[in-house]
Each structure stands twice: as C-alpha cells, then as structure tokens.
Structure 1
C-alpha cells in the first residue's frame, strides 16, 4: 500500500515492487461491491443498478504494476458514490433534510442526475424509490470520498517527488453506441485532456497516435473531455499531467449480460502495449524537463 491513508476495504492500491515509471493509474468507476443497505434503498434490480459501472476496467489495467506503476481502484460502485465529482455536488431533491451551505446544487452534473451521490444510473433510471437522509450522503463523502482523494493525492505527490513529474491516467469505459457529434465515428478510445488544460499537448497527441498505430479508432475530448479528477489533478505547468482514457465497452463486454467477450485478453494486451509505448515516450525527454515544462 502507498501508506496508511490508502489502507481501507473500500478501495485498493496495487503497488509494483518498485515504481519505475512516472505514472499513476486510477479506476474510480469499476467498483462492484454493493452495500446491502444501499440495495435496500434502491428501486432497481441487481442488473440495472450496474449500468453505471466501468465494467472490468480495473482488470484491463491490472498489468500496470508489472510495468512499475501503482493502480488505485474503487471497490464501491459509482451508483453509490461518484468520486469523479466535486465533493459536494448534491441534488436537494434527493434528500430529506437541508444540505450544507457549501453544497454545489446547481452544476450541470447535478441537473443531469449524476452528482457526487447520483440520482440516476445510465439510461436515466432512477436509483431511489424515495428521498434518502442527508446524513447518508455526508457519511459517504466523509468516509469514502475524502479518503479516496487523500490516497490519490499521495500517490501523485510521491510520483512527482521521485521523478520530477507525474502522469495520471484516469481509466474509464463508455457505452458501445457512443458517437462523436457531427460524424459517424464510433471511437474505440477517447483521450481527454480537458481541451489541453490537464496535460501537455505533446502527451495527448502521443497517446492518440500510439492508440491509432495499434489499430484503434480514437477521438480526443469529444464527447468526453475528462471529469473532476482530470481537471483537478492536471497541472501541466507544474509537471502534473492528467489524461482520461475512455474505452468502448463494445470491444470487450456484452453490455446486456455483462459477460466478458473473447477479445478481453487481447484488448488488455493492446492496452499494455499502449502504456509501455507512452511510458517510453515520456522517458525519452532529457530528465523529463521538456514534458514537465510544457
């Protein structure tokens, strides 16, 4: 484990024997341990409530420890708590009781039902049959959200101190029917850098190029530019880069049954090649100064 801030049953850090590359990998939406009390609050069946998961993304990136990088992965599900949001993006219509004054109740994500404690899973399905106590939401934030981000910050800071820069790869999946607006492209991957604000343009372009050379269809920032994690932790002027990688679920999972497709292992191998080549590219900078300064 990274240290005591990461010691919990709610999420896990897979550590390499020695960190050899300036990368941190994060899988915040692949958790699939559903608390019984949460399921009792939900109006959805056991399959429907899983529609928000980034199915098996943690398994697709398990290999990164062999390359010398840590992987932080959630065990709690996104439908229960979304750590890729601000800490208090909360919808007052969901709760019994008053929200704290610092809650962000007006964000677009809250309006869309996808706040820190979500109201909906994919396909606009309501999670709860009735309002839930405000105390439930605040407890999730204190006991899970804040420790999760403390752990992620520690991993990034440790990497930055050791290497002089840090590259956070935030790992996600997207529905198989996603298309790029204004085109017929159905991308296999989307690389998000918050439109150039969370990572250097050189790093983003290289990530796209490597994936394309591996035979994938790739889009950049559309329709997913990156969420709170990418935006919050990406400070390229300080050598802190953050990329969001979205993988088309149609490549590796049957979205109706959630069973892995036969190509799962091949996709994981291709992702390993992508990460290896990206890490090699980052390592070609003399003392990493060019990337750190961009």
Structure 2
C-alpha cells in the first residue's frame, strides 16, 4: 500500500491568500493573480520528485508585483500565496486526476476534462514543462486538505470582492492576471512579431466588448503586440465568474514572460520596471473606465 503523504503541523495555519485593499474603494475593477504564489509548503517540497526550481516552472512568476499598485486606483488585488503546482485555483474544484490517487476520488469529480487529461487539474500532476511532480500516489484526503486550505479561501475572497463591487457600483470587472511562456507568444505566421499580450474573454462571452476593446487600445498604444483569445481564451475563473448579463465581467490577461523575466533562472530582468510602469498606467485607465453602461438595475429596498 502506498505511504500517505506527510502533513506538516502548520498546514491549517498557513496563510493562503493576500488581499491588497485601497483605503477607499473607488472602482468596480478587481485585479487577481492566482498563479504567482511563491510560498512553497514543506509537504510539497518534501514529497515532490522535483526540486524547488523545477516546481517553479508552473508559476506566473512575479505577476503580483506587476499589479500591486492596484490600491492606488481604488481597486483591490487578490493574490494566491501558495504555488500553482500545489493547488490551481483557475480550475474547477472537481477537476481531479484519478491517476494521482491510491484510493478513489468522488463520483462527482470531473475526471475527463481536457485539463485533467493533460495532467493540469486542480491538484496538478505535472509542472509546466511536462515533468511529473510526484514519484508516488497521493490519497484523496491530501487533495481535500489542500482544497480546504487553499482553494476555498481564494474563491471565497474572490466571490466576496465581486459581490461587494456589484453592490456598490452595479457591476464588477474582474481582471485575471497571468503570464505565459515566451514560446506561447510565438507569432502565428513566419515574419510576424511575437505576441506580447493575449486578452481572453472566452470569445466574447465573459465580458462586455467595450472592456476588452479598451484594454487592447491601451496596450497597443504602448506599442505591444496584442491578440484576443489565441492561444489563451480564459480559464475556469473567466468562464465561471464572467456573467455580463448579471453585471459581472471577467477579462484574462496573459503577459509574455520574455518582457520581464529570465525564464531559465526565473529572475526578473532589467525590463521589469518599465513593464510595471505600463501596468500601472493600464490599471489607472482601466479603473477610470465609465461603467455606467454596464450596470444592472438594482432592486428597490
């Protein structure tokens, strides 16, 4: 029988998320960084067949630092502190890979999603470069503990921020912030420049067209190459939170890591600060967006 994974004594005490809040909320825009967590739990490091550096290949490294000035503009920034290799909050809670477990997963588990089949479920089986994270199987109780400790607090906080924005402004605009490997920004045709940003709105279903158009105009104005929905259209967060008819808009932003990161060393380059200044201006202009046309009627008291 496979040995159960170690559970550190401080499992429940580990702080899973951080919310940077403004002194006064002045915008319907919410920024979130679900994949930039750098706090690697001891049980992951101890039980993984990979070293710390290899595990970090799955990170959207330092994306949270590109957007940490959000409170200056009246918006919160929600960031996961745990790593994506441990729990991926941009997945359904039910996307569990049965190949990872020595015992059975619940019947409700979505074991056939394309992401699970690829090894990238809510508890990832592989890191971004395709290497297996574990040399032996987990038990389902390991997954349940992680989901309770990490996944649930993240989505509870995100739902709370969305509900608060809707109540205050009549709508909420969620900007889900990610980065992509430079290989993901390869041009579609020979001779074309690489893609710097991919804006994903689930092919027009997760946010109003004027929001993605506004973001695109800002980024192209900086001189960046921008595409929509290819190769990334938006993940679970955009699909499940983006409900424009209900006043909730979700836009995923993917940033080419070559713009700011030495991908081999996972270290910020000298270009990081220039990109950060552009992201500060992006936040300033997104939070200044006129949301009056997006608001849903409020019920009378």
Aligned length: 282
- Secondary structure of 1:157's counterpart equals helix
Contact 1:230 1:242 in 2 (8 A): yes
Q: Does 1:186 align with 2:194?
A: yes
- Secondary structure of 1:125's counterpart equals coil
Distance, in Å, in 1 between the alignment partners of 2:164 and 2:16 is 22
Q: 1:251 aligns with which of 259, 282, 294?
A: 259
Describe how 1:33-52 pairs up with structure 2 within 5 A: 33-52=39-58
Aligned counterpart, 1:9: 15
Contact 1:178 1:186 in 2 (8 A): no
Q: 1:231 aligns with which of 239, 250, 258?
A: 239
Q: Does 1:216 align with 2:224?
A: yes
Deviation of 1:8 after TM superposition, in Å, equals: 7.0
Deviation of 1:123 after TM superposition, in Å, equals: 1.3
When normalised by structure 1's length, the TM-score is: 0.93
Aligned counterpart, 2:279: 271
- Secondary structure of 1:178's counterpart equals helix
Q: 1:22 to 1:8 in 2, by over 3 A?
A: farther
Aligned counterpart, 2:299: none
Distance, in Å, in 2 between the alignment partners of 1:182 and 1:67 is 35
- Secondary structure of 2:165's counterpart equals helix
Cα RMSD for the two superposed structures: 1.4
Deviation of 1:185 after TM superposition, in Å, equals: 4.5
Contact 1:170 1:244 in 2 (8 A): yes
Distance, in Å, in 1 between the alignment partners of 2:25 and 2:14 is 21
Q: 1:99 aligns with which of 99, 102, 105?
A: 105
Q: 1:160 aligns with which of 159, 163, 166?
A: 166
Deviation of 1:186 after TM superposition, in Å, equals: 2.0
Aligned counterpart, 1:241: 249
Give a deviation string over 1:136-179, Cα, whole Å, max 9, x none.
01111122211211110001100111111110000100001224
Distance, in Å, in 1 between the alignment partners of 2:282 and 2:62 is 18
Distance, in Å, in 2 between the alignment partners of 1:292 and 1:220 is 24
Distance, in Å, in 2 between the alignment partners of 1:34 and 1:289 is 42
Aligned counterpart, 2:294: 291
Deviation of 1:279 after TM superposition, in Å, equals: 2.4
Deviation of 1:180 after TM superposition, in Å, equals: 5.9
Deviation of 1:59 after TM superposition, in Å, equals: 0.5
Q: Does 1:173 align with 2:179?
A: yes
Distance, in Å, in 2 between the alignment partners of 1:80 and 1:120 is 10
Q: 1:181 to 1:213 in 2, by over 3 A?
A: closer
Give a deviation string over 1:237-264, Cα, whole Å, max 9, x none.
1221000011111010100111111111
Describe how 1:81-92 pairs up with structure 2 within 5 A: 81-92=87-98
Describe how 1:1-80 pairs up with structure 2 within 5 A: 9-80=15-86
- Secondary structure of 1:177's counterpart equals helix
Distance, in Å, in 2 between the alignment partners of 1:8 and 1:148 is 13
Deviation of 1:292 after TM superposition, in Å, equals: 3.3
Distance, in Å, in 2 between the alignment partners of 1:223 and 1:120 is 20
When normalised by structure 2's length, the TM-score is: 0.91
Distance, in Å, in 2 between the alignment partners of 1:289 and 1:212 is 25
User: Structure 2: which 5+ residue stretches go unaligned?
Assistant: 1-12, 297-301
User: Structure 1: which 5+ residue stretches go unaligned?
Assistant: 1-6
